[in-house]
Each structure stands twice: as structure tokens, then as C-alpha cells.
Amino acid sequence: MKKVHPNATVPAAAPPSINGSPAVLTVWKKSLLFNCDGFTVFDAKGNLVFRVDNYMSHNKAQIVLMDASGSSLLTIRRKKLSWLVFDGETSTNPRFSVRKNINLLNTKCLAHIRSPDGNPKAVHVIEGSYVQRCCAMFDENRRQVAEIKPKEAAVKGVAFGMDVFRLIVKPEFDMATAMAIVIILDQMFGSSTISRRGL
């Protein structure tokens, strides 16, 4: 069996990057708790960084992103056609919102990330294919700040499958925010969602 992570220890704090290099996280679409749906995220050393444990897998109206010790970092709430992201477990003053792209003329774009002030201009744009675990996030200046890529096992040519992939986050971008966006993309284009936009 392929090893997803070398260990599952809880670090005191996960640095955003090492010497200004991008942080490379391994995202496993699996909860560490029995009978839960969620995510488990490890850093390059195999330390547990983030976790998502949903006891009610059928209810995705609210999802909490936690750190390794189980403290709430961000809460994702769905509101009609968009997803709102809040600090901790609050329900006021969202940090940002994410909305699926509905422009059929722009087939590369998956979603737009906007500030909560109602400005219609997208702050960040996500392009590519989440279904293939091959997409990137760009800021307002078209600089890539995060990327999702397939993860390969140590044996050349052996793949883990779509449930294990890499999240690469540039030093200037927040890792928790990047992971929250991964969770939302999975809500939009995951295996339980039938959508041509993610293909």
C-alpha cells in the first residue's frame, strides 16, 4: 500500500513556507475519524497541518477547517449560488466569497473569489480542472499564488488517485485560505457533483 504521509504528529505551528519557497502540502480526501467525511492535510515533513471532519456527510451547508489540534480556523457556509468563508466559527463579516464561473465563453475559469465588500470585480480567479486535480489560482495581477497538482508515489509512474493530491502555496498566500478554496472546489466539482464545468 502506498504511504500518504510519513507521520501524523501535531506540530506546534506550521510555517507558511521554508526560506521563501512555496509550501507543498499533501491533501488526502479522507477524515482521520471513523464514519466521517472530510480532508486530512500534511506538510512536506509529514506533519498534520489541517483537518476537516464532517459527521453528516450529506449536509455540506457548513464546513469547518481546523488546525492539527482541532481548533477552528475558517468556516465555509453556502449561501444560494456562492460560498462564504468566515474566521473561526463566526457567522458575520465574511473574509471572502467564492462563486462558480457561469460564463460559457470563458471555459478555462472554474470560479471567482471576491472580497466581501460587494465589489463585483474578482480578486482571484481559479482556472484549470479540479476533477483532474490540475488547476491554479491567480491574483488580480495574474500572478499564480496557489496550485493543485496530482501526487505521485515514490515508485515512478505510480499514482495515488484523485483522493490524494498536492496543494502548492506561494509564500505570500495564506495556506488556510488556499485549503478553504480547495474544500469549496470539491463542493463544486467533487465526485458527488455532476458538472461539466470541472471537466
For the CA atoms of 12, 16, 19, 21, the dihedral, rounded to the nearest 10 degrees, stands at 140
Domain ranges of the chain: 23-77+130-193
Lowest-confidence segment of 13-17, 142-146, 166-170 by average pLDDT: 13-17
Report yes or no: 98 and 112 within 8 Å, Cβ to Cβ: yes
Mean pLDDT over 138-160 rounds to 84
CA 171 to chain centre: 16
pLDDT beyond 60 at 19: no
Give, as one character, the DSSP assignment of residue 102: -
Cα 153 versus chain centre, distance: 21
Q: What is the per-residue pLDDT for 39?
A: 94
Measured CA to CA, the distance from residue 70 to residue 73 in angstroms comes to: 9
* Residue from 185, 195, 198 nearest 27 by CA: 185
Backbone angles phi, psi at 191, to 5 degrees: -65, -25
What CATH number does domain 23-77+130-193 carry, 1.20.1250.20, 2.60.450.10, 1.10.760.10, 2.40.160.200? 2.40.160.200
Report residue 104's pLDDT band, with 50, 70 and 90 as the boundaries. confident
In the predicted structure, residue 121 carries a pLDDT above the cut 80: no
In this prediction the pTM is 0.82
Separation between Cα atoms, residue 59 and residue 36, nearest integer Å: 12
Least confident of 11-20, 69-78, 102-111, 122-131: 11-20
Instruction: Give the Cα separation of 152 and 50 in Å (integer).
Output: 21
Cα angle: 148, vertex 150, 156; to 5 degrees: 145
Single-letter amino acid, residue 179: M
